[in-house]
Structure 1
Amino acid sequence: MTELAAHRRTHPLPSRPIRIAAAQARAEAGDIETNAATVAAMVRDAAQAGARLVVFAEKFLSGYEPDLIQADPLRCAVQPGDPRLDPVADACRETGTVAVVGAAFHDQGDLYVSALVIDANGELVTRYDKQHLFRSEREIYRQGEAGCTLQLDGWRLGLGICYDSGFPEHARAAALDGCHAYVVGALFSVGNGYHESRTWFPARALDNTCYAVLANHIGTTGGWRTCGASAIWGPDGRPLAEAGTDQAGLITADLDPQVLRAIRDSEPMLRDVHGASTGARTCCELA
């Protein structure tokens, strides 16, 4: 049996659909308490909309804000055991919703660009650290060493953060690990950033016949004028939902295993991959 066939046998398609939400809002610069309250409110909104998981933009808890974070990481980055996450944990536990929240994370003297995963019990169960740092980030943050796959209700979800999505091998590693969706919090700006997002995400979806989910910022953060337009694409690369450019709110889409099966049957690229490797990855099964 080939490596890819073995992955397929080990990680079959889910048995039922799952609804995922992408959230976009305006982050307050360096104000983790205020931004955590926004996340908690939007987790509750996502639960009311029937979403099982909601993803937020890159470093949303502090805003993008590299200068603030570098100057005062104890105030502007999340720490292990940080009580400022309690409102988010409460919202996840009370609604049974999983949240993937972008944060600068300060751990043992190092800073990371991270996606924090808070499960339906309100526990911070894992974090993914960005593997492909943008040029302005490399002097501040430490590069992540492994990909991350979440397991939720039979769905395997590969995490990414912004610039990761520009590298085809990043989403391909998730797909080879059996992922059915590629889930990304990001900062894309107006102009070229919007163009990149509308090029990369449909390509990552179609290349790997997987769903792709993008949560972006609105407003200005860290000196970047962002373009909003959080979106979800189907495994054929076609858009399923798209937010406005400057309005706070949620978009949702139902990820359907029957659609996934049909598109993978008609588009065989993933089946025909040879000689690829998943690389180092962690896997976290969620409540």
Structure 2
Amino acid sequence: MKLAALQLRATDDRTETIGRAADLIDAAADQGTRILLLPELFAVPFVQPEPDLDYFRYAEGLDGPSNRMAAERSKRHRMTVVSSIFEAGQVPGVYHNTACTYVDGELKSVYRKSHLPFSNGFPEKFYFQPGGTEPDVVQTGETGVGTIICYERHFPELSRVVALRGGSVLCVPVASASAPMREVFQLELRAHAVFNGLFVICANRVGTEGTKEYFGLSAVYGPDGDVLAQAADDRDDVAVAEVDLDLVDRSRRRRPFLRDRRPELYGRVTRMEPET
């Protein structure tokens, strides 16, 4: 089957940005893509270093224009599309950074980013309320897909949850522009793939937004940490990789990290107060 990471430059014109994203989904579908990932909050500019009350104008409901396009293209092409939106919650004044997984046009999962930064020019805690659930794994009919969002790639516990819940594909929508992070960006994603025996799809933005220069590097990684496909580094693009899902089982037999876990020794990881 084929997996795809869609890389996109967002502008203030949400309708125009969504249109370009739709065209790229069509192009990926023409290549036989079965699972496609969009970047974090793909249809609108991302947050700037200083909190901005005007930014809330970009919020939309789960049935807003960004997800309507993702659902329509998912149904049209009979594929799985993982969308990402600035969600206006049902409670007034509550907002989330939300990933939605559509399978053949049907909404199968709503995952709200649970780990939010307020550092390196990303004051997300000002805008978003954190989610309170672990990542879902959606069965697409071909494989299991789980999603974590951007900053959460720094927390290996979350991708391990996806693996333990039976996921074979980990989706990581990101908005990554930090120069220090670029140095370890692909190292982290390759590590998630190897530690868990997963395919990893990472979709980033590209281009200049305010003070930020998004560096792209959208790619698909194999369970051995190989870069199977990577988008162009300076423009909208879609990276499509043909994969063999049997590699997941083979890698987990060859590197049986899930088998050899010792959860009874890891209590310190989840305790709020460390023991002395």
Task: With the length of structure 2 as denominator, give the TM-score of the two structures.
Answer: 0.85
Aligned to 1:102: 84
Quick check: 1:145 aligned with 2:132?
yes
Q: Which residue of the other structure, out of 143, 150, 155, is the alignment partner of 1:162?
A: 150
Aligned to 1:273: 261
Quick check: 1:21 aligned with 2:9?
no
List runs of 5+ in structure 2 lacking aligned partners: 267-276
CA-atom RMSD in angstroms: 2.1
Q: Distance in 2 between matches of 1:83 and 1:216?
A: 20
Aligned to 1:32: 14
Task: Work out whether residues 8 and 236 of structure 2, in 8 Å CA contact, stay in contact via their aligned partners in 1.
Answer: yes
Distance 1:153 1:193, change over 3 A: same
Distance 1:70 1:55, change over 3 A: farther
Q: Which residue of the other structure, out of 73, 98, 113, is the alignment partner of 1:114?
A: 98
Aligned to 1:46: 28
List runs of 5+ in structure 1 lacking aligned partners: 1-17, 278-287
Q: Distance in 2 between matches of 1:145 and 1:222?
A: 31
- How far off is 1:265 after superposition? 1.5
Identity %: 26
Counterpart residue identity of residue 113, structure 2: K
- The superposition leaves residues 117-168 of structure 1 with CA deviations (integer Å, 9 ceiling, x where unpaired) of 23323x4443211111111111221001112212112311110110111111
Q: Distance in 2 between matches of 1:127 and 1:195?
A: 31
Q: Distance in 1 between matches of 2:167 and 2:67?
A: 28
- How far off is 1:54 after superposition? 1.0
- How far off is 1:215 after superposition? 0.4
- How far off is 1:69 after superposition? 7.6
Quick check: 1:221 aligned with 2:206?
no
- The superposition leaves residues 207-253 of structure 1 with CA deviations (integer Å, 9 ceiling, x where unpaired) of 11111110011002353211111011111112211122212111112
Counterpart residue identity of residue 45, structure 1: A
Q: Distance in 2 between matches of 1:130 and 1:219?
A: 24
- How far off is 1:49 after superposition? 1.0
| Aligned partner of residue 226 in structure 1, secondary structure | strand
Task: Work out whether residues 40 and 173 of structure 2, in 8 Å CA contact, stay in contact via their aligned partners in 1.
Answer: yes
Distance 1:69 1:229, change over 3 A: same
Q: Distance in 1 between matches of 2:38 and 2:241?
A: 15
Counting matched residue pairs gives 257
- How far off is 1:190 after superposition? 5.4
- How far off is 1:82 after superposition? 2.2
Q: Distance in 2 between matches of 1:171 and 1:20?
A: 18
Task: Work out whether residues 211 and 234 of structure 1, in 8 Å CA contact, stay in contact via their aligned partners in 2.
Answer: yes
| Aligned partner of residue 183 in structure 2, secondary structure | helix
Distance 1:259 1:148, change over 3 A: same
| Aligned partner of residue 189 in structure 1, secondary structure | coil
- The superposition leaves residues 55-96 of structure 1 with CA deviations (integer Å, 9 ceiling, x where unpaired) of 1111112121357984253x4112143256444433222222
Task: With the length of structure 1 as denominator, give the TM-score of the two structures.
Answer: 0.82
- How far off is 1:255 after superposition? 3.1
Aligned to 1:187: 175
Aligned to 2:111: 128
Q: Distance in 2 between matches of 1:207 and 1:261?
A: 13
Aligned to 2:274: none
Q: Which residue of the other structure, out of 187, 190, 199, is the alignment partner of 1:211?
A: 199
Distance 1:178 1:32, change over 3 A: same
